[in-house]
Structure 1
Amino acid sequence: MADQAASERRALIVGASRGLGLGLAETFSAHGWQVVATQRRSTPDLERLTGKGVRVETADIDDDASVAALRQRLAGEKFDLVFVVAGVATEADKPLHAVSRAVSAQVYLTNAVSPILFAEAFADTLAPGGTLAFMSSVLGSVALNEDGGWENYRASKAALNTNARSFAVRHAERDYGILLVHPGWVRTDMGGAEADLDVETSVNGMVAVIEAFAGRRDVAYLDYKGETLAW
């Protein structure tokens, strides 16, 4: 994998209509990867990348039928990277008791359950030495939660980390690695205008981390600089 020509490497970026997902699709393509990028609904920014060799598909990770239809459309294809980026931060600024049960449940499903269900559906599309990646967050670290805030979002990302480790145990004989990635605090619709990083800095870091991770078969929780985070 490490010596594989970039033009032969293939990535499936799930949730690439804007922000980090869009940046990842564009950057992997610029690095010579063949990229399939998904959107939940038609988005001009992503569809413009078709002119740069990115193949765009439509799928909603919260919809089992939509995921199954995508799996059928991609039948027979192999990927060196499957990266589930899609996630939400609905009412993340509110304390948990101020968020409705319905919103809390949806955030948990989208951020912690749907990525794992997607991974189950697409695990057999990963090439040997490939990487299954999930967009996590440092806010998902239980050990590093000293400041509170973003309670529902934090809990959903901590659950994603736990579910990904359980997935790894269930797939102990896998021939690919599992990577949970913290992108940094990024100026996107989710991160807000006061965030530390621009999309380009975060994405370039994550691409470098993912390319360096290729060929590993363990489970890692890393930030965009490649530094290990405490669970």
Structure 2
Amino acid sequence: MQRPSRQKTALLIGASRGLGFALAEQYLSRGWRVIATGRESSTERLRHLSETSGGALEVETVDITLPHQVAALRGRLQDRRLDMLLVNAGVKNDDRETIADVSTDEFVRVMVTNALSPMRVIEALRPLVEPTGTIAAMSSGQGSVANNVNGNYEVYRGSKAALNMFMRSFAARHADDSRTLLLLAPGWVRTDMGGPNARLSIEESIPKLVDTIEAHAGRTGLHYVDYLGRVVPW
């Protein structure tokens, strides 16, 4: 008699709203167990979802810009094994601000949240991911240096390009790692961050993004892809 397959587990960092919350819903609908995080003040919606999940959704609180909270999360999950770690944290600044305009404090805020903190999470939680698992970070098509032909959203673009570079360095340091590494570009989506004029709805982006993640399972090395599975130029 064939043994039943183990239920897969995904840890979604930054899942309290927008794309992250939609990812939690999508993975639950596909039969995964989900551990979803948000900052302490933003997990109410996740907790409501957890109440209807039949125990499949666990909610954790963490602010990934605070290293001691990341370390505490690592401690709480130290006995768990993950099939996927996906870091979805991100902020943007005033779209009109250029490098000539942005304050140092605002520049640091965006860079720490979008580039440094996701990589700290990945470094800390990598040992929990199964050798056949996936580690993913939510990047953006705007992180592509090659595709930057209009120069808008400078600080946000720079933070995502930095994330991409740090992830490439991480992949190079772990060249013999059997895990799949992904940088994900979900498209321009109508969320609080994407705004009401964005081209895609959450329903048009997220299911296809999850299809893309699943299609890359087992492919070692680092892949920078959009929600349709197309390679994004560096």
- Structures share fold, TM-score greater than 0.5: yes
* Distance in 2 of aligned mates of 1:92 and 1:219: 29
Identity in percent = 47
Deviation by residue 1:106-165 (Cα, 9 ceiling, x = unmatched): 111111111111101001011121110000000000001001100000000000000000
Q: Which moved more, 1:159-168 or 1:40-49?
A: 40-49
**2:60 is the counterpart of 1:64:** no
**Could you list the runs of 4 or more consecutive aligned residues of structure 1 that deviate by over 3 angstroms after TM superposition?**
none
Structure 2 alignment gaps of length 5 or more: none
Q: Is the 8 A contact 2:37 2:43 kept in 1?
A: no
How many pairs align? 227
* 2:15 match: 16
SS in 2 for 1:97: coil
Question: Root-mean-square deviation (CA), in Å?
Answer: 1.2
AA aligned opposite 1:16? A
Q: 2:226 aligns with which of 214, 223, 227?
A: 223
C-alpha distance in 1, partners of 2:112/2:43?
23
Contact preservation (8 Å) 1:14, 1:37: yes
* Counterpart check, 1:120 vs 2:147: no
Match of 1:44 in 2: 44
Q: Is the 8 A contact 1:11 1:35 kept in 2?
A: yes
* SS of residue in 1 equivalent to 2:161: helix
**In the alignment, what sits opposite 2:29?**
30
TM-score, structure 2 normalization:
0.94
Structure 2 CA distance for aligned equivalents of residues 132 and 195 of structure 1: 27
What do the CA deviations read for 1:4-30 (whole angstroms, capped 9, x no partner)? 94x611100000010000000110011
Supply the AA of the counterpart residue of 1:12.
L
1 CA distance for matches of 2:48 and 2:123? 30
Q: Give the TM-score, by structure 1 length.
A: 0.95
- 2:43 and 2:59 in contact (8 A); partners too: no
How far apart are residue 66 of structure 1 and its match?
Answer: 0.4
- Rounded to whole Å, the distance in 1 between the matches of 2:134 and 2:181 is 6
Q: Pick which of 45-54 and 220-229 moved more.
A: 45-54
d(CA) in 1 for partners of 2:128, 2:87:
14
Gaps of 5+ in 1: none
| Contact persistence 2:175–2:221 (CA under 8 A) | no
2:129 equivalent to 1:104? no
Aligned residues of 1:209 and 1:226 also touching (Cα < 8 A): yes
Deviations along 1:64-116, one digit per CA (max 9) or x if unpaired, are 11001101110111111100001110223322222111100111111111111
